[in-house]
Amino acid sequence: MKEGKDRELSLLAKAAGEFGAKVLAPSREENDQYPFGPLFEPALTRAFDLGFLHAGLPENLEGLGDRLAPLCALLENVARDDASMAAVILTTAFAQNILLEAGEEERFKSFAGGSWTWADVLMAAPLFRDPTETAPGLTAEKRGETFVLSGKSDYVVLGGIAKRAVLPALDQAGALGYYLVDLGGWGIRKSGPVFSLGLHACPAADLEFSGAEALSVGKAGDGGKLFRAVSQRFSVAAAAVLSGIMRGSFKEAADYAKKRQQGGKEIIRWSELRMILASMVQGVRSTGMLVTEACRLWDAGDPKRRSAALSAFLHAAEAAISATTDGIQALGGVGYMKDFGQEKRFRDAQHLSAAFGILPRKKLALLKLTMAGE
């Protein structure tokens, strides 16, 4: 995205980029390995110190404020080197924002205020899975002031690590709502980290609940509304992560093409290879512009901000899948190997695009918004 003359954004982008290059890149391969080792604690500690894990919060909660642009600038620049960390920040911010959107700021402060380490801040969520698309496997039953959860919640991102999660569940009347759960509590079985396509250093777990205590978030039956409000805003943030992945892929491809020789010259001097790089640039530039514009509309409270956000995400998903496929291709055989970042970017881009739920259905959602004049 374009930071333009916004000094605050430029500084943030620079800090995030340096963090990616210095802290994340050197151990990217190691952190990505399956079976997963311990979480990349030093990197998380540094991210916490830099305030990145609070990034999605308003200023009064030590975050980057209500504007979307700073969060996107941060995510994009972190993702250039390792999208897993960007996904950790994104997931936590998403879960935090479900709470805030539901008006639960006081409750949030009660456990997150004055956090000392990254472990206090991380929050888990089934990322962007739309609970109205396929019904959640979790039910919530009222017991006095609180609720108890039963059933399964699959693929809860950070579910094996975070202390708390925000999860969708159906109440006894079948109404969809969100619930705040203490993951250290009784009645919760966690699987090991789920082996997935990408984003390995942002692991997910399947959670099984049998009478675990939970607090309702917002009003009963507001789950769909909450999800839509937060996920639409965060679809721009996800587009920013995809944009960062693409930028990283392009840089690696272009650097390699300037050095690698075939046919008696650097491969960048073959115009077909340049055409591949050009397509990547097209994806990078167009996505960057859409993310910038979607941030602007969102931050201005524009009535068309929702459709702009979804368009940015859908475009970013297509462009990132295509660019990272090309990003491997430009390197030939070495692009397929773990030693280079390209195969990881290819997996991460595809992963993040599909973690949002059924992609073509999102297109229909865009149409619906547009037809409604939004």
Partner 1 sequence: MNLKRKEAEKLAARTPSFEEMTASLHAGPRLARGMIRETRDVVAYCRKFCDEVVRPQVLELDRGLHEDPDHLPWDFVKKANEWGFYSLWIPRLLGGHGVNFSSLSYAMEEIGSVCLAMANLIGVHYLGFGTLTSSGNARLMRRLAQDVVAGEKSGEPCLISLAITEPGAGTDVEEVDLVDKANLGCQARRVDGGYEVNGSKVFISNGHLSTWHMVISYSDLARPSETTVMMAVKTGMKGFSFGRHEKKMGQRACPASELVFNDCFVPDELVALDDRIAQTFTRSQRETGQQMIDYVVSTSRAAVGAFGVGAARGAYEAALKFASETVVDGELLVNHEWAQCWLAEMLKNVTLGRLAYAETNYANGLYGMFKLLHEEPMFSIMRLTPRFIYERYVAPLLEKPGATAFYRKRSYDGQSSCEQHRTSGLASIAKFAGTDFGIKNCQMALAFMGEAGLRQDRGAEKHLRDAKLLQIYEGTNQLNRLNLFKCLIACGCDGARVFEEKEGGLS
Ligand X SMILES: Cc1cc2nc3c(=O)[nH]c(=O)nc-3n(C[C@H](O)[C@H](O)[C@H](O)COP(=O)(O)OP(=O)(O)OC[C@H]3O[C@@H](n4cnc5c(N)ncnc54)[C@H](O)[C@@H]3O)c2cc1C
Q: Would you say 30 and 82 are in contact if contact means Cβ atoms under 8 Å apart?
A: no
Q: Exactly one of 169, 267, 295, 297 binds ligand X (CB under 6 A); which one?
A: 267
Find how far residue 143's CA is from the centre of its chain. Answer: 34
Q: For residues 241 and 328, which CB has a smaller minimum distance to ligand X in the complex?
A: 328
List phi, psi (to 5°) of 157.
-70, 130
In single-letter form, the type of residue at position 274 comes to R
CB of 251 to ligand X, least distance (A): 16
- 35 interface partner picked from partner 1, ligand X, none, CB below 5 to 8 A per type: partner 1
Question: How many amino acids of this chain bind ligand X (CB under 6 A)?
Answer: 12
Q: Which two tokens stand for residue 242?
A: 């995809």
- 150 interface partner picked from partner 1, ligand X, none, CB below 5 to 8 A per type: none
Place of tokens 């899948």: 321
Residue (of 113, 79, 27, 98) closest to 238 by Cα position: 79
Q: Which two tokens stand for residue 88?
A: 């950790």
Residue 188: its H or E element: strand 188-190
Which residue is at the shortest CB distance from ligand X? 332
Q: Exactly one of 26, 37, 336, 364 binds ligand X (CB under 6 A); which one?
A: 336
Greatest extent of the chain over all pairs of C-alpha atoms, in Å? 77
What residue ranges bind partner 1 (CB under 8 A)? 33-35, 126-127, 129, 132-135, 154-155, 194-198, 261-264, 269-274, 276, 317, 321, 325, 328-329, 332-333, 335-339, 343, 346-347, 350-351, 353-361, 364
Q: For residues 72 and 253, which CB has a smaller minimum distance to ligand X in the complex?
A: 253
Compute the CA torsion angle 333, 336, 339, 340 (nearest 10 deg): 90
Enumerate the β-bridge partners of residue 140. Answer: 149, 171
Q: For residues 300 and 364, which CB has a smaller minimum distance to partner 1 in the complex?
A: 364
Site for ligand X in 296-335 (CB under 6 A): 329-330, 332-333
Does position 155 interact with ligand X (CB under 6 A)? The reply is: no
Does position 274 interact with ligand X (CB under 6 A)? The reply is: no
Residue (of 118, 61, 70, 71) closest to 94 by Cα position: 71
Q: For residues 214 and 330, which CB has a smaller minimum distance to ligand X in the complex?
A: 330
Place of tokens 């409270």: 301
Q: For residues 9 and 98, which CB has a smaller minimum distance to partner 1 in the complex?
A: 98
Q: For binding to ligand X (CB under 6 A), which residues are involved? A: 260, 262-263, 267, 270, 272-273, 329-330, 332-333, 336
